[in-house]
Amino acid sequence: MMQDLIDLHTHSTASDGSETPARILRLAREQGLRAVALTDHDTVSGLPEFLAAAEQEPVEAIPGVELSTMLFSKELHIVGLFLHPETPELLHLLERMRSGRETRNREIILKLSAAGFDVSYEELLQEAGGESIGRPHIAALLLRKGYFKTMQDAFDQYLKRGCRCYVARALPEPAEAIRAIHAAGGLAIWAHPVSGQSGERAFARKMLRKLVPAGLDGVEVRYSMFSEHQTELMTELADAEGILKSGGSDFHGTNQPNIRIGCGCGSLAVPFDYLEAMRDRLAERKGMSL
């Protein structure tokens, strides 16, 4: 049983996870976590169930979201934590982003149909069930219909960047996502900053030179797929910039079965101290606004 650990990056059936928002809390409790954040892609629709379930669980529930953005032609994900989910500015941005998802999904379905796959947009809606639909749902549909043996096969052959049925998505700049998160009373965290990235230090420093002046509050320094070197690098850069440290598993349930809530691939450990520092930052911000 883990003590004084948290997980600030998880996904539910409201986006591309396999577990309900309430189930996220139960899993966090079973793992012995003190706190867990629900950070679904481009939607806060799972937060009411998540927060209601927290009333019956001894785990602190942090309302969040994960937003996809584009900077220097590179997709960056910004996690918002401690959100007031009904904030109009945030909801407006989320609606726009989901509209972009719908346009993209329809184009991907058309390309798949032209490539000989018997799939429809209506089937995709049934497959997803939630409000925020993306390529993992398309891959799951293809898998269910027997076209591929794994979701990764579907991505590698047809859905990832550079493949025949890939469609790019119009994304906001990080500064817009950060403004919306701040308007909702939250903290903006750069998610999995150097995962799968070459030239890690130069890349991270280049991005931080833009993100920190735009109001970025922190960065994930502990992540399921991070090596010890990557954690040390991002901790060093976070301290140098004077920004918060965060971390999480990026849990998606059975859709990514090698990642478990709270412990990622087995060695993830995000300390409760990170959460306390975040609360201090929020209190400072509130005091400055009075």
Tokens, residue 140: 């799951």
User: 7 pairs with which residues across the strands?
Assistant: 36
pLDDT of residue 23: 97
pLDDT of residue 249: 98
Residues of the chain with pLDDT > 90: what percent?
Answer: 87
What own/partner pairs with CB < 8 Å and gap ≥ 24 does 145-153 have?
A: 145/117, 145/118, 145/119, 147/117, 151/255
pLDDT of residue 196: 79
Domains of the chain as residue ranges with CATH: 5-93+177-289 (3.20.20.140), 101-159 (1.10.150.650)
Least confident of 27-31, 163-167, 192-196, 209-213: 192-196
Binned at pLDDT 50, 70 and 90, residue 289 comes out as low
Residues 241-256: tens digit of each pLDDT? 999 999 999 999 998 8
Binned at pLDDT 50, 70 and 90, residue 60 comes out as very high
Mean pLDDT of the chain: 94
pLDDT of residue 2: 46
Please choose, from the candidates 238, 190, 222, 230, the residue with its C-alpha nearest in 3D space to the C-alpha of residue 75. 190
Residues 142-167: tens digit of each pLDDT? 999 999 999 899 999 999 989 999 99
Calpha distance 42→96 (Å, rounded): 9
| Mean pLDDT for the stretch of residues 59-67 | 98
Residue 198 has pLDDT above 90, yes or no: no
Q: Label residues 77-86 b or e (16+ Cβ within 10 Å = b).
A: bbbbbbbebe
Residue 1 has pLDDT above 80, yes or no: no
Residues 176-188: tens digit of each pLDDT? 999 999 999 999 9
